[in-house]
């Protein structure tokens, strides 16, 4: 693996908030966070530029709160703040191992992070810094999946790497259905027509319109991020026909 060259020069890594919770299912697991930081550093050492979008479901889920009677817009704003908390936690873990970072947020909070400015984010990437993008799109009713698709296109990322709890996209929930089939490759239309759990329809449509591939893989397997960047066929790749 040491002699192989990366397949991508600039990536956007999409992490769910639940991924940071580990086996706990809530909050932030320090071991998961430190392991993730090491994996990101390994990818940087290959000369790859890395942007990260993190969800906030390990702390607060706007959709769940709205279904319990909370105003949806207010609940979504609380969810955006949860993504900023996760972003700051990842920033700390990365900087403790010598990786330079910048957190940029869609909701302005200058005391803790830079406001999201596309050209500034690109410049940070060019200087070898990891850019962590918090606050989603800054608008309610949009998921962090949509934020990941939007930021990936704005920043010129060549691929979205979506790290999940499962090792790809299945025809049904593999936990509930033992006969579920794992797909190696899918088209954007396959995902949209069959309602497969890759990214939400808005995010998938954005990727389809801009021919931006999505690779879905399991985060908990050590070294998977580096393997994907080096071109190993793990997980599921979603791209045009």
Give a yes or no: residue 78 inside a domain. yes
Question: Token pair for residue 138?
Answer: 């800054």
84 occurs within a structural domain: yes
Q: How many domains, in total, are found in the chain?
A: 1
Q: Report yes or no on 1 lying in a domain.
A: no
Residue 2 confidence (pLDDT): 53
Domain of 230 in residue numbering reads as 10-239
Please report whether residue 129 resides in a domain. Answer: yes
**Considering the domain boundaries, does residue 4 fall inside one?**
no
| 5 domain residue, yes or no | no
Helices 144-155 and 118-126 cross at an angle (nearest 10°) of 70
**Three-state DSSP class for 161?**
strand
| 32 located within any domain | yes
pLDDT in tens, the chain (241 residues): 556 899 999 999 999 888 888 887 788 989 999 999 999 999 999 999 999 999 998 888 767 777 778 899 999 999 999 999 999 999 999 999 999 999 999 999 999 999 999 999 999 999 999 999 999 999 999 999 999 999 999 999 999 999 988 889 998 888 788 888 999 999 999 999 988 888 999 999 999 999 999 999 998 888 999 999 999 999 999 998 7
Rounded-to-integer distance, Cα 45 and Cα 112, Å: 27
Q: What is the pLDDT of residue 172?
A: 84
Q: How much is the pLDDT for 91?
A: 97
pTM for the full predicted model: 0.92
* Residue 221 structure tokens: 């397997």
Residue 130 confidence (pLDDT): 98
| Structure-block tokens of residue 122 | 């690109």
Say which CATH number the domain at 194 has: 3.40.1160.10
Is 102 domain-assigned? yes
Helices (H), the chain: 17-21, 30-44, 62-67, 72-96, 118-126, 144-155, 188-194, 201-209, 224-229
Measured in residues, the chain has a length of: 241
């Amino acid at each position: 693996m040491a002699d192989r060259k990366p397949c991508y020069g600039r990536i956007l890594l999409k992490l769910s908030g639940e991924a940071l919770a580990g086996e706990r299912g809530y909050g932030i697991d320090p071991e998961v966070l430190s392991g993730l930081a090491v994996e990101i550093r390994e990818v940087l050492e290959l000369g790859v530029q890395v942007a990260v979008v993190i969800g906030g479901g390990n702390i607060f889920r706007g959709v769940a709160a709205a279904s319990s009677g909370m105003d949806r817009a207010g609940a979504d704003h609380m969810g955006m703040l949860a993504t900023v908390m996760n972003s700051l936690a990842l920033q700390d873990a990365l900087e403790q191992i010598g990786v330079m970072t910048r957190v940029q947020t869609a909701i302005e909070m200058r005391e803790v992070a830079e406001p999201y400015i596309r050209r500034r984010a690109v410049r940070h990437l060019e200087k070898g810094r990891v850019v962590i993008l918090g606050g989603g799109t800054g608008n309610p009713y949009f998921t962090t999946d949509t934020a990941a698709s939007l930021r990936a296109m704005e920043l010129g990322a060549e691929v979205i790497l979506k790290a999940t709890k499962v090792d790809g996209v299945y025809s049904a929930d593999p936990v509930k259905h033992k006969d579920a089939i794992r797909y190696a490759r899918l088209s954007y239309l396959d995902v949209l027509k069959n309602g497969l759990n890759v990214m939400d329809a808005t995010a998938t449509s954005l990727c389809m319109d801009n021919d931006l591939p999505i690779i879905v893989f399991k985060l908990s397997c050590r070294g998977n991020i580096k393997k994907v960047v080096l071109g190993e066929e793990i997980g599921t790749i979603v791209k045009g026909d």
